[in-house]
Structure 1
């Protein structure tokens, strides 16, 4: 079995020692090639080249951003866009994820241990047994995502966190909570919410301040605490949507409290939920912050979302 290990050397929770342990362990099970990412987007190129060269499995050591890039590389390989019938998952290498970031939502949603060493052990066992799971993915225009996407407040929160990290701050739950609170209090209470959710054959949902899309549950984690917006979201179903309408400062404060202390599940007239949706479009009256799998990707005014079943084989 041929495998490519994609390592993000700047991932929050990795060290040279842990990387060496992983390489030695994998080398005893598969014919291993190791590549380190050198820039943003590099994991996409590495995974695409691996898929086109016939590799059997791509292993990532990094955070959710590294996973997202690798998935986009696999799903844009020539084998993925061929005219052969059948699910995408059958045409592509499997993906194995060793958690190495600060949150690792995707790996944890798959039931993998948070610790990289424990996660490596699980991956090795599954590779030896030939076990894998087929999951659905989300697509936002031409970009794939594994667990979440968003326009508005949550993407603006991620932008704040990324700015803080560039200033030398460490990614922690406290940093995210401060960024979340600050964005609610300064950005979420605008008088004219800019977002509209459009679904084929349905009346549009207008007047939305933020739209959060889930491909699985939980939405995210605050340390060890899962945060659930749509607890029924699943890799085996369509996409789930949580949208917030115009929020006053008192409502914003209540929503932040619910997210922080009740592990999510905000309620009230300002909350809109849609479950198991195959396709929809989010349109904004003005450019809005946009994120996929916890990476800030700039501003957008229109994004088309599609649920793609049986898109990827994962070792878990």
Structure 2
């Protein structure tokens, strides 16, 4: 079986020594090529070329951003029988998609699990999502961007603002930690204006619009993310076997917000109550905003937009489980 290992040398928990161990292990049973990413978007380019070259399997070593790029490269021309399989070795700080597939958090153990699965033929098709944004900001056009794939989550509003703040701190040399996200979330909530004057509206097919939202989290898996080892799970029913789940919030105060955060982190998460909106198994949804909002896919901030159109795509990609 021909395989390509796409390794991100800048991923949070990836080292050259670990990479070399994985290369030896994978090469013992696969006709393996190694490619290291050198810039943002490189994993997408490498995965697209792997598809064109008839590679059977693409293995990623990196975080969720690397997985997202690889999935977008594999699906450049859309789903189909000629798209290589994807296997994921965790190398980032959160690794939501790898954990959703049941992979060990240790990259060496995860590699052994992948080889065991390949011997046994354990693969499956999973649903993914696509998102296209309507650009916002000064001089923006009214058109929608080309759809991009996401593997586990999309968001518009508050969560994208938090991610933007974290990315700015990381650019200054800070490590990606739970405390960094907590600090960014507290600052965004207390200092931001959007939760006081929520600008977003949700439109679902055949339903009345829902106005006054400042946060919208689209989930393709459960949990939505992790704070260290602790899951944050606003949409516990989300699954690769269904459509997308949406968790949205309207105007809330500090006490109510803390209450809802505790609900999403409980042993049996069930965030409900004033200001909370939840939907399960959606095929599509559209968010619009009266002023530009940040948006994100799989934990990467992608700029600002005045609209986000999201769709579920069943059986989009074959993965090693």
Query: Which structure 1 residue ranges, 5 or more long, are not aligned?
Result: 81-87
Q: Check if 1:180 corresponds to 2:171.
A: no
Q: Check if 1:91 corresponds to 2:96.
A: no
Q: Check if 1:60 corresponds to 2:55.
A: no
* Counterpart mapping for 1:204-243 below 5 A: 204-243=209-248
Cα-to-partner distance string for 1:130-172 (whole Å, 9 max, x where unaligned)? 2201100010021000110100111111111111111111111
Aligned residues: 307
**Which stretch shows the higher mean deviation, 30-39 or 172-181?**
172-181
* Counterpart mapping for 1:1-316 below 5 A: 1-77=1-77, 80=78, 88-141=79-132, 142-187=147-192, 190-259=195-264, 265-316=270-321
Matched residue SS, 1:95: strand
Cα-to-partner distance string for 1:168-187 (whole Å, 9 max, x where unaligned)? 11111111111112212122
Q: Assess if the C-alpha contact under 8 Å between 2:214 and 2:251 holds in 1.
A: yes
Q: Assess if the C-alpha contact under 8 Å between 2:4 and 2:55 holds in 1.
A: yes
Report the equivalent of 2:137. Answer: none
Off by >6 Å, runs of 4+ in structure 1: none
**Which stretch shows the higher mean deviation, 61-70 or 124-133?**
124-133
Query: Which structure 2 residue ranges, 5 or more long, are not aligned?
Result: 133-146
Report the equivalent of 1:83. Answer: none
CA-based RMSD? 1.5
Displacement of 1:209: 0.8
Q: Assess if the C-alpha contact under 8 Å between 1:153 and 1:188 holds in 2.
A: no
Matched residue SS, 1:128: helix
The 2-side partners of 1:172 and 1:133 are apart by: 32
Going from structure 1 to structure 2, the CA distance change for 1:10 and 1:21 (only over 3 Å counts) comes to same
